[in-house]
Amino acid sequence: MAKVLIVYDSLRGTTKKIAETLEKQLAAAGHQVTVNKGGKVTAAELEGADLLLFGGPTYHKDLIGTMKQFLFRAAEAELADKPGAAFSSYGWSGESLGILEDTMKNQFRMQLVAPGLAVKQTPSLAKIKAAVEPFAQEITGKL
């Protein structure tokens, strides 16, 4: 059993549904999953997880502001070689995923264990579940 910490934010609910679906699927695979919405986590909480999943939507071709602030907080933690992956939701351009992954890889020196998940905005929980499933399975295979 691995300790997974999911940190995300969402304005209109799609990224929230992705995070909650991930939580359910990883918990069903036997992992201990903690979810934080809004990014107010401590360096100790980040360092104490075996796997970190960071998620956020794109607004105005940028990562949502609360997650940008979170990345500054995360920069205070020692995350080198920590396994992680990113997830996002978007409407058309989807810059948030690349911003999260670039920062995790280049600034925090984390190990990205799966290509990031980008889900196009949808009210359909079934579509979100179908998109999350292979991502969760790939991550679970690395734990």
Strand duo 111-112 + 83-90: pairing: parallel
* Residue 88 C-beta: closest distance to ligand FMN, Å: 8
Q: Which is nearer to ligand FMN, 25 or 96 (CB)?
A: 96
Judge whether 85 and 112 are in contact, CB under 8 Å: yes
Buried-exposed string 109-123: b where 16+ CB fall within 10 A, e elsewhere: ebbebbebbbbeeee
Q: Which is nearer to ligand FMN, 77 or 97 (CB)?
A: 97
* Residue 81 C-beta: closest distance to ligand FMN, Å: 29
Judge whether 55 and 64 are in contact, CB under 8 Å: no
Interface with ligand FMN (CB under 6 A): 10-15, 57-61, 89-94, 121
* Residue 57 C-beta: closest distance to ligand FMN, Å: 3
Q: Which is nearer to ligand FMN, 91 or 115 (CB)?
A: 91
